[in-house]
Structures are given as C-alpha cells and as structure tokens.
Amino acid sequence: MKRYSVFALAREAARHHAGWERAWRSPAPKDAYEVIIVGAGGHGLATAYYLAKNHGIRNVAVLEKGWLGGGNTGRNTTIIRSNYLQDSSAAIFEKSRALYETLSQQLNYNIMFSPRGVMMLAQTEHELRAWKRTAHANRLAGIASEMVSPRRVKDIVGIINIDGPRYPVLGGLWQARGGTARHDAVAWGYARAASDLGVDIIQQCAVTGVDRDATGVTGVQTSKGAIRCKKLCVVVAGSSGVLAEMAGFRLPVESVALQALVSEPIKPVLDCVVMANTVHGYMSQSDKGELVIGGGADGYNNYTQRGSFQHIEETVRALIETFPLISRLKMLRQWGGIVDMTGDRSPIIGTTPVPGVFINCGWGTGGFKAIPGSGWATAEMLADGAPRALAAPFSLDRFTEGRMIDESVAAAVAH
C-alpha cells in the first residue's frame, strides 16, 4: 500500500493522477477462512483491522451484502463522546475516543477528526441532576467532563436561546475533547488498512445461512457460495436478530429507525456539538456549512431507511425554541438508519449459544462513537475465544443474570 502524503499528492499531480492504487482489494472469496466477520460497517472493519494488526490473524474475510459502509456507518450524525454513566460504558467509549484522536495517523487516512467539544443541555431539574451525577461518575473514571452554568453554555453556543419559556437551559454537561469525524472516511480508512494487512473485504455478498454441526459453526452460505470458517462474528447492527436466527438463537434486541436531516449550507454559526435531549434533538455544523440535525428513534419496530416527514417535523419543531435561527432554514435531505436497541441501552459483545459464533450488536443510537473501541475489544475476543476486560461486562448472559448496564439516561434520545 502506498502511503498518502503531501509528497505523494505532488508526485501524482505531476503525472495527472494516473498512479493512484485502489484503496482496498476486491478479491473473490476463498473456500475457507479462520475468521469470517459479517458486516462491513465501521465496527466490522475495525474488528478485522485490529485482529490483523494486534493479533496477527490475517486469514479473515469481511462479508457485506451491500457496499462497504453503506449501512449505519454512512447514515449517522458522527458524534464522538465518552461521558457515559456506568464504569463499563465509560471505559469502552473512552478507549474509542482516545483511539479516534490519532486514528488518521494510525491508518494513514484523514478521517477528519474534529475535537470541537460536545455540550449536553440540562433543560429540566431532573436532567440537571442526572448530568451532575454523570459528571461525578466521569471524574471518578478519569474522563474529562464538567458541569457548566447557563451563561457558560451561552458563551460556548452563541446561537442558543437559554431563556426558553418551556425548556430554559439550566446548565450543561461539557466534554471539550468530544467532537465529530467523517463517517465515510472512518470506514474507508479501516478498509484500506485492513486490506493492506491481508484481510479480504467481499462486497455484494449476502449471508443466507449459517452452517453448523454438533461442535459448533462450520461456515456460512452466501450469495457467492459456501465459505467455511472456524469462527464467525456477526456485526450487522439492525439486522443482528436476522443473522442470529440463521445461526439458531435469539437476541434481546429490537430494530427501529433513527432519523436525521441536514439543512441548506450557511455560514459558520455552530462550532461544537449540542445535544438537547429534553426536546429530542441534537445538532452540529458540517465543514460544508450544513446543520446536521438528528432526533430520537421511532417508537415502533421497523426496517426503513427512508425516514418519515412526521418524525422530522417533530424534531425540528422541538429544536426551534432552543435554536430560533433554524426556523428560517430549508431542509436539504433526510434519511434513516436501522439501529438495534437492547433493554438497558448498552451493547452486546460476547459469545453466543453456538460455539464459534460471536456477536457485536445492540449499540442502538450510539454506534459511531464506539467504532475503534468496539473493534479493539471484539478483536481481542475473537483472538482469545472469550471477551477480555473491556468487553466482558457486555456479554449476552447479563440479561439472564440480571446485571444490566443501564445507560438509558446517558444514551438518552440523542445517543
């Protein structure tokens, strides 16, 4: 793999950009692999990369029914933060946030990481108490976040109305080292680096069945034929339940659509991420000037990726009181992504009832921020055959043992 650099850019410019290589290989599937990862989104690609880089396991295939990064990785609102309440959640999200800081250099691919800061508004007394509790928990976990006053919120977020009649701003939980990154670039960077280490990324290859015998998994049936494997890892977000059923077990998840939109481009007015959970919305501004706006998940199970006008209208209407400026903007486009939600709003990373089958799912509305940490932890699990400390609390058996990791407040509506 040729390194990207200013010198490479100048060299290729001199020869009319005729010497660039393809970013990743597109091989035909082999008959067998040591590990098959189903799902070429951020989590699946990060898992493959860290499996090859950290553990030397390179006989790996990543199977994708569509195109690389075409699912939730390319449909989210790119927020990165780690100010979660529970210790296990804070650990994996902080690992992820820390990896994001140097990921461009690690992958030799500009993921456009922007540590612009994340402001989580408190607009009710109940929410103010919840954020204060989270700030104390973050301090004990060694995560840099702080409670700030309404006046400080206004200083950071100039376009905000802190005196709204229904939902005045009572304070905010501020994580200065949170931010955003370019979602497509994260997927492409991991794909390029994993491919260079020998991982086969096979697109347009839908898994139609899981083969198993008395000892466990033996392979998968795909639209490109049967492929044998020793270990199978399912990382398919909203379709996790479908793949689990193919393998012969059920998951405690439900799939719903999460919707978002972008406005027409305007001059810079917002240089951080703002999350207003009470009014069900969050917002940041892209490099092109669009305001990226998202809201909560649908209240009913579905698999749509189109979005609905009703939900978008509710989100924008709720935000207008806190951000009056957006009332005059036109919507440029909207979309939806299929997310898989657990009862405690925390992910599942672990073994399954089928020997050799591993699962990474249930990230709900917060999957993008967790990509590097999730990939790191899942790669450890695949290499060892069981989760290490980072992933161990998120095992599937926590639901039968009653040890929930309740992140319904920290995850909130706005991930």
Starting at the earlier edge strand, list the strands of the sheet with 146-148.
146-148, 171-175, 118-122, 273-276, 281-285, 291-297, 253-263, 331-342
Residues counted in the chain? 415
Which one has a higher pLDDT value, 297 or 83?
83
Q: Using one digit for the tens of pLDDT, what is the confidence trace for 135-172? A: 999 999 999 999 999 999 999 999 999 998 889 999 99
CA dihedral over 85, 90, 94, 96, signed as positive or negative = negative
Q: Which of 341, 364, 398 is the last residue of a domain?
A: 341
Asked whether residue 142 is domain-assigned, the answer is yes
Is the pLDDT confidence value at 61 over 80? Answer: yes
pLDDT digits (tens, 9 = 90+) for 290-310: 999 988 788 888 888 877 777
pLDDT at residue number 414: 40
Q: Are residues 393 and 331 in the same domain?
A: no
Give the separation between CA 259 and CA 295, rounded to whole angstroms. 6
Q: Within this chain, do residues 131 and 279 fall inside the same structural domain, yes or no?
A: yes
73 and 187 share a domain? yes
Tell me what pLDDT residue 410 has.
66
Q: Are 298 and 388 in the same domain?
A: no
The boundaries of the domain holding residue 88 are 29-82+84-92+183-252+344-411
User: Is 329 found in the same domain as 276?
Assistant: yes
Instruction: State mean pLDDT over 259-266.
Output: 93
Examine the domain organization and report whether 41 and 126 are in the same domain: no
Stretch among 71-75, 261-265, 355-359, 410-414 having the lowest mean pLDDT: 410-414
* Residues 244, 261 within the same domain: no
Stretch 350-375: mean pLDDT: 96
Q: What is the CATH number of the domain that holds 66?
A: 3.50.50.60
Say what the pLDDT of residue 318 is.
84
User: What is the average pLDDT across 392-403?
Assistant: 94
* Whole-number pLDDT of residue 142: 95
Domain match, 214 and 357 both: yes
Whether residues 133 and 203 fall in one domain: no
Does residue 305 belong to any structural domain of this protein? yes
State the average pLDDT over residues 104-113: 97
**307, 323, 341 - which closes a domain:** 341
Per-residue pLDDT at 309? 77
Q: Report yes or no on 149 lying in a domain.
A: yes
Q: Is the pLDDT of residue 345 over 70?
A: yes
Entry pTM? 0.95
In angstroms, rounded to a whole number, what is the distance separating the alpha carbons of residues 287 and 113?
A: 11
- Of residues 46 and 277, more confidence is placed in 46
Q: Which of 341, 365, 382 is the last residue of a domain?
A: 341
Region 197-210 average pLDDT = 97
The string of DSSP codes covering 41-71 is SHHHHHHHHHHHHHH----EEEE-SS-TT-S
Residue 404 exposed, middle or buried by CB count within 10 Å (0-12, 13-18, 19+)? middle
pLDDT exceeds 70 at position 415: no
DSSP state of 339: E
Does the pLDDT value for residue 413 go beyond 60?
no
Cα→Cα distances 308→257, 261, 329, Å: 10, 11, 19
Instruction: Note whether residue 104 is domain-resident.
Output: no
Is residue 206, in this structure, part of any structural domain at all?
Answer: yes
pLDDT for the residue 296: 78
Chain centre to alpha carbon of residue 260: 15
pLDDT for 411: 60
**Quick one: pLDDT band at residue 312, thresholds 50, 70, 90?**
confident
**Average of pLDDT values for 26-43?**
97
| Sign of the alpha-carbon torsion through 67, 235, 246, 355 | positive
Asked whether residue 323 falls in the same domain as residue 401, the answer is: no
Q: Is residue 21 part of a domain?
A: no
What percentage of the chain exceeds 90 in pLDDT?
81
pLDDT of 279 reads: 81
- Quick check: is 123 in a domain? yes
Per-residue pLDDT tens for 364-382?
Answer: 988 999 999 999 999 999 9
- What is the overall mean pLDDT for the chain? 93
Question: What confidence category does residue 412 fall into, taking pLDDT thresholds of 50, 70 and 90?
Answer: low
Query: So what's the pLDDT on residue 305?
Result: 80
Distance, CA of 64 to CA of 402 (rounded, Å)? 34
Q: Which residue has the higher pLDDT, 76 or 409?
A: 76
Query: Where residue 291 sits, what CATH number does that domain have?
Result: 3.30.9.10
157 belongs to a structural domain: yes
Q: Please check whether residues 47 and 78 belong to one and the same domain.
A: yes
Do 122 and 168 sit in the same domain of this protein? yes
Q: Tokens 């027409």 label which residue?
A: 264
Instruction: Tell me how crowded residue 90 is: count the other CB atoms within 10 A of its CB.
Output: 23
SS3 state of residue 269? coil
Q: How many domains does the chain have?
A: 2
Q: What is the dihedral of CA 34, 38, 40, 45, to 10 degrees?
A: -40
What value does the mean pLDDT take over residues 233-246? 95
